[in-house]
Amino acid sequence: MSLPHAILTALLEKKSSGLELTRRFDRSIGYFWSATHQQIYRELGKLEADGLIRALPSEQPARGQKKSYEVLPAGRAELARWTSASQDPKPHRDALLLRLRAAAVVGTAGLETDLRRHLELHERQLAEYQEIEERDFPPGREGAEVRLRHLVLRAGIDLETFWTQWLRRALADVAELPDGGPAEPA
Amino acid sequence: MSLPHAILTALLEKKSSGLELTRRFDRSIGYFWSATHQQIYRELGKLEADGLIRALPSEQPARGQKKSYEVLPAGRAELARWTSASQDPKPHRDALLLRLRAAAVVGTAGLETDLRRHLELHERQLAEYQEIEERDFPPGREGAEVRLRHLVLRAGIDLETFWTQWLRRALADVAELPDGGPAEPA
DNA sequence: TTACCTTGTGCAACTAGTTGCATAAACAGT
DNA sequence: ACTGTTTATGCAACTAGTTGCACAAGGTAA
């Protein structure tokens, strides 16, 4: 139940319309909390109904019109409450690890190309994070907000680094195995 | 859409009843693909209806009776197909990183205790993985199946290692900040 | 022999997220 | 003017996962 809080955070960082939020979820925020435009519009409606945000009364809000939102005090309070509240980590689900485990019983045929593709994706993501770090976080001690955001980015960088390394190892391992794997031995 | 494949994998590793599967999802498989007993029972029903698995005809299957399943050839084929097929990685969602980002705008009050709690959970998980590694994967080159399973476990170990390190850094950083954070400066 | 606990299976209702499409305005080209 | 594209918002239906509870059989203990 974190999407509303992701949106509140994004709106506090900068007042935005639905589409602007969607774009920002495709970069930045979406790196650790993705959402489609459908989810965002729906949630904006709920948040407005609950009095946590409000539409800026600039233009009349009709279809095809931009409608920007800002966070109300109640919204900020709710976000602060949620941020400080204790939460159990949600169980992870990783299809790639599952597939490797499946490959242990039905064979590794066809896996290698996809592992390579995943490796490329993670390498690209890592490069992107590193660019962001160079651009937005030059060395030197900054304020609390910047340091926290840098910490989050570091998590992204280190995670992608982990995955690229693990995938390289996985590729090396899989390459040594017979194609059919243990299920269909030569 | 991976739950059926997780179940097929688990059943190929060992024929089981619904509850046995549930227990195995609480350890092992569930470390990277968690599922509740409800999901499992429902999915077992579907898999049986689709002819991918079948109930072992040992006892008559009534309520309160154990009912074990085994994978049929069609099920193995489907798992092999899924394993080798190309798949895009699903977007991640990490509430903790989101909370840190939120803390950057509404303040870090209350965060520290929960970060510490998460650190403990990850440390415990890491210790558990390391025990499994010592117990199930003694040094020495083994067959393809064992090596693939070891690879999956290594991912778990390295991920938990990453999180414990990152959380320690996060705690150190947060400790230096004013409690209210940037939103309510002293 | 009733009263309770554990094991095992399952339904129903709910929440969260995804997919596919509809609508409308603004703008660009021809 | 008309056609097509981009920007912007949104509905409806679907899939996946969660939560809460129900039910049955077997053991166990007063």
At residue A185, the pLDDT reads 40
Residue B57 φ then ψ, to 5°: -85, 45
The answer to which of A125-134, B78-87, B172-181 has the lowest mean pLDDT is B172-181
Sheet of B53-55: strand order equals B16-17, B68-71, B53-55
Q: What is the mean pLDDT of residues B47-68?
A: 72
Using CB atoms, pick whichever of B30, B103, B121 lies closest to residue A83.
B103
B37 CA to C6 C1' in angstroms comes to: 16
Q: What is the pLDDT of residues B2-30, one digit of tens each?
A: 999 999 999 999 988 888 999 999 888 99
At residue A56, the pLDDT reads 81
The rounded distance, in Å, linking the Cα atoms of A125 and A169 is 19
Burial code (b: 16+ CB inside 10 Å, e: under 16) for B21-50 equals bbebbeebbbbbbbbeeeebeebbeebbee
Write out the H or E segment, with its range, that includes residue A160: helix A144-176
At residue B141, the pLDDT reads 73
Dig out the tokens for B131 from the structure. Answer: 């025990």
Q: Tell me the pLDDT of chain B averaged across its residues.
A: 88
A38 CA to C16 C1' in angstroms comes to: 12
**B28 against B162, higher pLDDT:** B162
Q: Which of A24, A106, A113 to mutate to test the interface with B (most CBs of B within 10 A)?
A: A106
Query: In this structure, are residues B34 and A92 in contact, taking their beta carbons and an 8 Å threshold?
Result: yes
Write out the H or E segment, with its range, that includes residue A16: strand A16-17
Residue B110 φ then ψ, to 5°: 85, -10
Cβ–Cβ gap A148/B104 under 8 Å? yes
At residue B60, the pLDDT reads 44
Distances (CA, A) of B81 to A47, A102, A113, B32: 43, 11, 14, 20
Which chain A residues are closer than 8 Å to B103 by Cβ? Answer: 83, 148
To the nearest whole percent, how much of chain B has pLDDT over 70? 91
At residue A102, the pLDDT reads 95
Q: What is the mean pLDDT of residues B107-112?
A: 91
Instruction: Using 70 as the pLDDT threshold, list the residues of chain A that sit under it.
Output: 57-65, 179-186
Which chain B residues are closer than 8 Å to A182 by Cβ? Answer: 143-145
At residue B140, the pLDDT reads 80
A63 CA to D5 C1' in angstroms comes to: 18
At residue B177, the pLDDT reads 78
Cβ–Cβ gap A181/B145 under 8 Å? yes
Residue B65: band (very low, low, confident or very high) from pLDDT cuts 50, 70, 90: low
Using the Cα atoms of residue B26, residue B22, residue A159 and residue A22 in order, give the sign of their dihedral: negative
Dig out the tokens for B61 from the structure. Answer: 């299957």
At residue A167, the pLDDT reads 97
Using CB atoms, pick whichever of A87, A103, A114 lies closest to residue B87.
A114
Using CB atoms, pick whichever of A32, A114, A170 lies closest to residue B86.
A114
A46 touches strand C (CB under 7 A): no
Q: What is the mean pLDDT of residues B77-82?
A: 94
At residue B180, the pLDDT reads 60
In chain A, the residue whose alpha carbon lies closest to the alpha carbon of B84 is: A110
At residue A58, the pLDDT reads 60
At residue A170, the pLDDT reads 95
Give CA A71 to chain center in angstroms: 22
